[in-house]
Amino acid sequence: MLKTKYEEIVQVDEIGKKSSRHLNDILPLASQEHIPPAKEDEKKVLLLGIDIQNDFIEGGSLAVPGSKEDVKNLTKFIYQNIDKITKIAVSLDTHQPMQIFHADWWRDEKGNLPEPFTIITAEDVKNGKWIPQAFPDESIDYVIQLERIGKKQLCIWPYHCIEGTYGVGLESQFANIIYFHSIVRKTEVKRIVKGTHPTTEMYGIFRPEYSKEEDTNTALLNEIATFDQIIVAGEAKSHCVLESLAQLIEFFEQNEIPRLKIVVLEDCMSSIPGYEQSTEKAFQQFEKSGVQIVSSKEFKL
């Protein structure tokens, strides 16, 4: 049982805002706790927080409706299970303004930029409706290959998670609790940077949506597979959580690793509007494959 109260670490009304309390105020409290270090855990539990970043929280440039409630539920789950979570890993969507899914990459025949959330199809590009301004051959091939392999079509997202900006940073209250956990359990937070390649989206944390090269991060998959339980949460359920899970499940199936090890906290993730139906179908398939999909309030470690 922690001596430090949840409210001393997480200010729920500040989720999605800059924290009024600095880590220099919070982490000394963690140093006073007396919980065995993570290396002594018999059951190794990984919490994988996907893209819990300012730009994806309500109020951010690519806000996911419901994300503030997701963060509240997740921070409470971490607090209540701080002695059982061995390690926390977080992915960080990280971009430059000039990438294939941002507006300035494309122009129509009159020189106009696409509006945010425009879908660019292979037919659009073939017909010259949208003209790439960089890497033309790779750009045309990319939209064609997305449709060929059955991936989501190219969407023009609002500028988001630009390297070095406030938006790319971890949400403040989530950051407070994971670094509190780091001190209490004497374990480092693992950071997974993704999305830096200019000519492809990278929703999943293990490989891009499409690449001619073999870009799968097998080392990361193998590292995650060593844990006895992998708990997944984050934003957005419809994109980065979904694709990360699909890639992880595929790896587990190929290597005959029980999918029951994967636990998804259903009340700690939300979808981008318009993608709900396809997302629910995908998660039903995940559950059929053996993945546990549960509420953070009901799941017991």
Q: What is the mean pLDDT, run by run of 10 residues, along the chain of 301 residues?
A: 95 97 96 96 98 98 98 98 98 98 96 97 94 96 95 97 98 98 98 96 97 90 98 98 98 96 98 96 96 96 90
Residue with tokens 């930029």: 113
So what's the pLDDT on residue 268? 98
Provide φ and ψ at 213, rounded to 5°. Answer: -90, 165
pLDDT digits (tens, 9 = 90+) for 87-102: 999 999 999 999 999 9
So what's the pLDDT on residue 255? 96
- The model carries a pTM of 0.95
Q: For the chain, give every domain's residue range.
A: 6-97+161-294, 103-155
So what's the pLDDT on residue 1? 79
So what's the pLDDT on residue 215? 87
**Token code pair at residue 242:** 């979904």
So what's the pLDDT on residue 188? 97
- Cis-peptide into 175, omega within 30 deg: no
Torsional sign, CA 148, 150, 153, 159 = negative
CA–CA–CA angle 15, 21, 26 (5° rounding): 105
Q: Which CATH number is 6-97+161-294 given? A: 3.40.50.850
So what's the pLDDT on residue 58? 98
So what's the pLDDT on residue 214? 76
